[in-house]
Each structure stands twice: as structure tokens, then as C-alpha cells.
């Protein structure tokens, strides 16, 4: 069966995951994390992609981003991927691939899943047992959204601004969301949709997306199509 093209549309939030080849480490030290963040900032601006959230883990990274153009996300990931591997290989005295094939991504319905996806992303280091509190992890967007540092990579989504009327209110509200966490069903839905490339949202949202693209946006029902009589 032919591989489906990636589902990508301008103006919609995309959840993106890129893994290291064979789950190998993609960072060796602090300078590698900093290098990837600098590249993300540079190319997100160049290709008009608003990055709402991120986390850099030892062998993969997540992005939550909204492109302004149809090619924004693939252009961003291609440019960042190539530049980072070139620098990483030079620093490590190695050759060859670093990434596990194509990045994974999907579109998510903002009203239902965007804040949950931000929480899902920022809790990755906690789920992995690296820290007990996301505030103790340097390489994620949590620190920006809770007022601990200003991160030039981040462009908050309008739904974040609706969390409160003042910076403190928004920061506290987001910290409370992360503290509450997300349910296992939401977590599983976000993971499966991203790896399978199916849009995640209510039926009306998925139907609207399907009208905007020729690419199938949801899994087809099993069995033969019914014959009209």
C-alpha cells in the first residue's frame, strides 16, 4: 500500500514528533540542545511557523506548531534536520543518519486538544522519570509559560491568552493545568493520532478538514464500501 503524504494545512495546530534512528540519542551535551533550539528559532521564523510548545528529550523531540503556509512544517523540519545532523556529526566525529525516517505529525482541533497537547508535551520529562517537576527540566516550553524565562522560540496560541487577564493569572492557570495532568485516553489519542497521521478532533472538525484536502484525514472504516441501491 502506498504511503500517505503527511497531513498538513496552514492555520491549523500540528503535533510533531521526530525520533532518533533506532531510538538512539540525538543529544550528547548541553551545546547540542542549544544548537537545536537555535535552529528551530531561525527556521520557524524563516518559514512562518508559530511554535506553541516543545520538549527536547534524549532521543526525540516534540513540537506543537501552526504553519502559515502549506509547506511551512515540512520546510522547517527538513531545514532543521539537515542543519542539526551536519553540526552534530561534525561535533561527534561521526557520519550517517541521525533521524528515524520521516517525522510524525497530525493536525489537532485547537478548542479540544491544544492545551491538552501542551500539557502532554511539557510532562514528557516527568513521565520519563527525568524530573519530578517540569520546572526542573530546561529543554521544554513549560518554563516560558509559567514565567520562569522568556523563550524567543515560543509564540503563544490565542487559547493560552484566554487562560487569564494578566501574565500572572495565565502563568498560574497553565501551571495548574500541568499539575492536574491529562487523562490516559487523551494521552493515548494524542500519541496514536500523531504516529498514524490521522486528524484528531470532533467529527465536524474532521469533516471540515476533509473538505479542505484531497488527502484522507481519518482512518477508513473496515470492509467493502456499501453499494447504493
Say which CATH number the domain at 158 has. Answer: 3.30.70.1290
Would you say residue 219 lies in a domain?
no
Mean pLDDT of the 199-228 span: 80
Would you say residue 34 lies in a domain?
yes
pLDDT, tens only, 91-136? 999 998 899 988 999 999 999 999 999 999 999 999 999 999 999 9
Domain count, the chain: 1
Does residue 162 carry a pLDDT above 70? yes
Would you say residue 229 lies in a domain?
no
* CA 95 – CA 183 distance, rounded (Å): 41
Q: What stretch of H or E contains 168?
A: helix 167-180
> Which residue, chain included where needed, has cell 532518533?
20
Amino acid at each position: 500500500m502506498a504511503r500517505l503524504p503527511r497531513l498538513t494545512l496552514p492555520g491549523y495546530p500540528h503535533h510533531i514528533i521526530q525520533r532518533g534512528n533506532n531510538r538512539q540519542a540525538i543529544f550528547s551535551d548541553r551545546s547540542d540542545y542549544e544548537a537545536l533550539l537555535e535552529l528551530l528559532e531561525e527556521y520557524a521564523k524563516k518559514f512562518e511557523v508559530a511554535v506553541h510548545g516543545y520538549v527536547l528529550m534524549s532521543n526525540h523531540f516534540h513540537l506543537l506548531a501552526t504553519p502559515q503556509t502549506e509547506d511551512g512544517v515540512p520546510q522547517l523540519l527538513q531545514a532543521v534536520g539537515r542543519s542539526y545532523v551536519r553540526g552534530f556529526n561534525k561535533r561527534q566525529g561521526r557520519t550517517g543518519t541521525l533521524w528515524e525516517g520521516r517525522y510524525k505529525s497530525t493536525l489537532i482541533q485547537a478548542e479540544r486538544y491544544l492545551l491538552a497537547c501542551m500539557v502532554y508535551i511539557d510532562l514528557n520529562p516527568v513521565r520519563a522519570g527525568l524530573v519530578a517537576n517540569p520546572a526542573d527540566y530546561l529543554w521544554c516550553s513549560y518554563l516560558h509559560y509559567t514565567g520562569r524565562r522568556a523563550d524567543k522560540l515560543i509564540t503563544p496560541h490565542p487559547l493560552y491568552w484566554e487562560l487569564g487577564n494578566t501574565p500572572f493569572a495565565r502563568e498560574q492557570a497553565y501551571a495548574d493545568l500541568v499539575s492536574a495532568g491529562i487523562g490516559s485516553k487523551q494521552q493515548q489519542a494524542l500519541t496514536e493520532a500523531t504516529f498514524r497521521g490521522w486528524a484528531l478532533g470532533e467529527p465536524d472538525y474532521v469533516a471540515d478538514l476533509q473538505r479542505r484536502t484531497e488527502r484522507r484525514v481519518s482512518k477508513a472504516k473496515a470492509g467493502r464500501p456499501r453499494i447504493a441501491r
